[in-house]
Amino acid sequence: MRCSDRRAWKSARTLADLGRRTADWLEGRLASQPGYMPNCGPDEETAELVPSLAALNRAGLMTTCSQPGLAEIGYDGAWWTQHAAVEGYLTDRALFQQILDAAEALGHLVVVDDPHTGRRDEVVVVTHRDGEPYTAFGARPGPRDMHALYGVLHPEARRELDGAIHLAVIAPYYGPASHRALWRSLDQVTGLEPPDADEDQDDQVDGPPPRIST
């Protein structure tokens, strides 16, 4: 990580600071972020999600991972299915409730790990390769992983993360229609899209219910 990027991350003290730094990384103003390969920007599949992710980060949800919804033949010739999903950390209880309300209204899945209430939901498998589980969202990293990922941060910022809610929001079905519904609902929470925006006529469920990991 460049010295300038390291200083930028080290100067963060609050989760709101971390969210702003993450938005800057997503938009290319920072070349690196903690826990990610140095001097690399977001993955190619994330490009279309950058405006939504940056808005979430500036609203108070520091995102750590996301993916679009799809159902297609992948680079390896296998059949890949993905549920649109995002996960991260937040301390703003009002924003947390807004996201929960939006998710409930549209049937999105949420996975919550809240150290203050003790709620800890089961993780959800969000990607399958030829029908086999491949990726899950919702698992909160343990202390060793947190140190490996965020050791560059100031101790105050790390304490913020330790006490924050870890949240994943997941479309209930795989594919592009549920992808649009998930990201539209989050854009409405952040104000990126008006709350009364018209929905596409073809936004119908496009996959079977998700599998829950144990």
Query: How many Cβ atoms from other residues are within 10 Å of residue 13's Cβ?
Result: 15
Q: Is 99 exposed, middle or buried (0-12, 13-18, 19+ CB in 10 A)?
A: buried
* pLDDT given for residue 208 in this prediction: 54
pLDDT tens, residue by residue, 122-145 = 999 999 999 999 999 999 999 999
As a whole number of angstroms, the distance between CA 200 and CA 55 comes to 22
0.85 cut: is pTM over it?
Answer: yes
104-113, 176-185, 193-202: lowest mean pLDDT where? 193-202
Q: Give the SS3 label for residue 125.
A: strand
Length of the chain in terms of residues written: 214
What is the rounded average pLDDT of the residues 10-28? 96
Helix (H, G, I), strand (E, B) or coil at 214: coil
Asked if 21 contacts 65 with a C-beta cutoff of 8 angstroms, the reply is: no
Measured distance CA(192)–CA(95) in Å, rounded: 14
Give the relative orientation of helices 143-150 and 155-163 as an angle to the nearest 10 degrees.
140
Question: Measuring CA to CA, which residue among 174, 171, 177 is closest to residue 199?
Answer: 177
Q: What is the mean pLDDT of residues 180-190?
A: 96
- The torsion angle over the Cα atoms of residues 204, 174, 87 and 21, rounded to 10 degrees, is -80
CA distance 174 to 177: 8
The 10s digit of each residue's pLDDT in 66-120 is: 999 999 999 999 999 999 999 999 999 999 999 999 999 999 999 999 999 999 9
Instruction: Supply the pLDDT for residue 204.
Output: 45
